[in-house]
Structure 1
């Protein structure tokens, strides 16, 4: 009687225990499905994760996470032990010997396998959920950084375009200035050539003037010499006449 009561209490305890694990598994499935909803972006999840309640729970999160991992590992190992226990040769031999025990052994084996799957999937989804949350945060941070980088890139491109436009305007101004200077230089060159031709013409005129002056000087010198000669002859002609007059007296 006591043994039967102990077995009933043990069965009830195990049932409540694995019911809790099953509910935890269903909750994990629901949370993972919600986290994987495509139209909820990582930025919105980051806003949800930045609520004050999560910052309040953050000191306990790692402890809770590793505690649940340890509990699920223990339950998984216990389920493995149960599966190994009821799938061994001894229970199967007893089930073959006693037909009444056959259904009981298979029921225990089925429950052990069910508990194995429940605990295994619970452990797997618990790790997956932690990884999904981490990846959502990383994606949100990456999107924010990429948005900032995009803004900086757009600003740099805009500044580069502005500098390019300024350089083009400066280059155009320099070209215009160079054309203007070229035109002025051409005009100055023409004026210099014109002045050079005028100077050359003036020099030619001066040279001709000097030649004419020199010719006139030589002519004046010749005339002066001719005048002196004629004057000398005139005096010579007058002197003999004077001498003849004196003799006649």
Structure 2
């Protein structure tokens, strides 16, 4: 752009040469802005990919914790049913298991909430990605239409 913006304009300069200089300046500016926008989109797409991979990791972890809490809860309930009556030691174990069940149920509820939050975040990321993809395709079409008729400088 700098190369073409310093053209000397005099009253005696030929009109065709002046128009050709302006055309080159316009093409240089256009190419500069296209390059800048492409770099910006590169950064945006890279960040989206990072967020999606992070989301997948969190979903997998959440699902594993959910299943672990469920299996521990089932095991504790079955132990309580097996040792329904007994001596003092059994009663203490029952109380420990009950407190463990309560803790596991709290963990399960928290994991369910986390899972729902992650799902809603994933849906919003997908919507944003779709919107950016549509915007990108529209801009690509504009660039193709604008650049298809002329040669690039």
TM-score calculated relative to the size of structure 1? 0.30
Q: Which has the higher contact order (CA 8 A, sep 6+)?
A: 2
Structure (1 or 2) with the greater helix fraction: 1
Larger radius of gyration: 1
